[in-house]
Amino acid sequence: MKKLLIIFLILFCISTVKAADTDKVFERFSNIVSIKAQFRSERFVQISKEPLISRGELYFKRPDKLKWEYIKPIRHSFIFDGSKTFLEQYDDKGVKTIKDISKQREAKAADYLNMFVSMDGVKIGQYYDIKAQNDGIVLYPKDNSSTQIIEYIQISFSKEIAAVSRVEIFYKNGDKTIISFTNITLNQNFADDIFNV
């Protein structure tokens, strides 16, 4: 009986430590008001011999404003203003068009991006089981239904500042997406105009 009690106590301590670890991870990000960074996305897909590479910039302002702007190879942006998601596109002549895509599948992706950029621990915890790693966290989707395409997500943090430096998304079909962030500027005051559509 005593042994059982000790095992139970050890297990309890381990789980508490783990929870405390992940809580600390998200605590680091709670003071961030805004983020500006450049990103590079590499999609390793079976349909292409070469990775599909795109580059762009991101702007984030707490609590929930995000602009995810692709500059290359094709210029377009996702703008999330807290309640709605918009797609900003440019034609060959540079004429801008804006579409409200709040009810489309892409909006879900934009919502995920917002969640990872802001490191919203509560929201992430709703969708994923979180495990702490040396330099970041690994997320395993709670929904393991047939419609789930993600196997797991690995997030690495910058050693210097409280920011995400790299996100690796592993898909069930063997594809992979790596998003790395550079030139990260935190808590810089920039105008809200950037999120206007």
| Residue 189 binds to another protein (criterion: CB under 8 A) | no
> How far, in Å, CA of 155 to CA of 139, rounded?
8
Of residues 143 and 160, the one with the C-beta less far from another protein:
143
Q: Which one-letter amino acid corresponds to residue 80?
A: F
The tokens for 94 are: 């540079």
Beta bridge pairs of residue 157: 164
What would the x/- binding string for another protein be over residues 57 to 96, using CB under 8 A?
Answer: -----------x-x--xx-x-x----xxx-----------
Q: Scan residues 138-167 and list those touching another protein (CB under 8 A).
A: 143, 145-147, 149
Q: Which of 177, 181, 184, 195 binds another protein (CB under 8 A)?
A: 177
| Residue 108 binds to another protein (criterion: CB under 8 A) | yes
Residues 192/171, Cβ–Cβ less than 8 Å: no
Looking at the chain, which runs of residues are DSSP E strands? 34-44, 52-61, 65-72, 76-80, 85-90, 96-100, 128-132, 136-141, 150-157, 164-171, 176-186
**For binding to another protein (CB under 8 A), which residues are involved?**
41, 43, 45, 47-50, 52-54, 68, 70, 73-74, 76, 78, 83-85, 102-110, 113, 143, 145-147, 149, 169, 171, 175, 177, 179
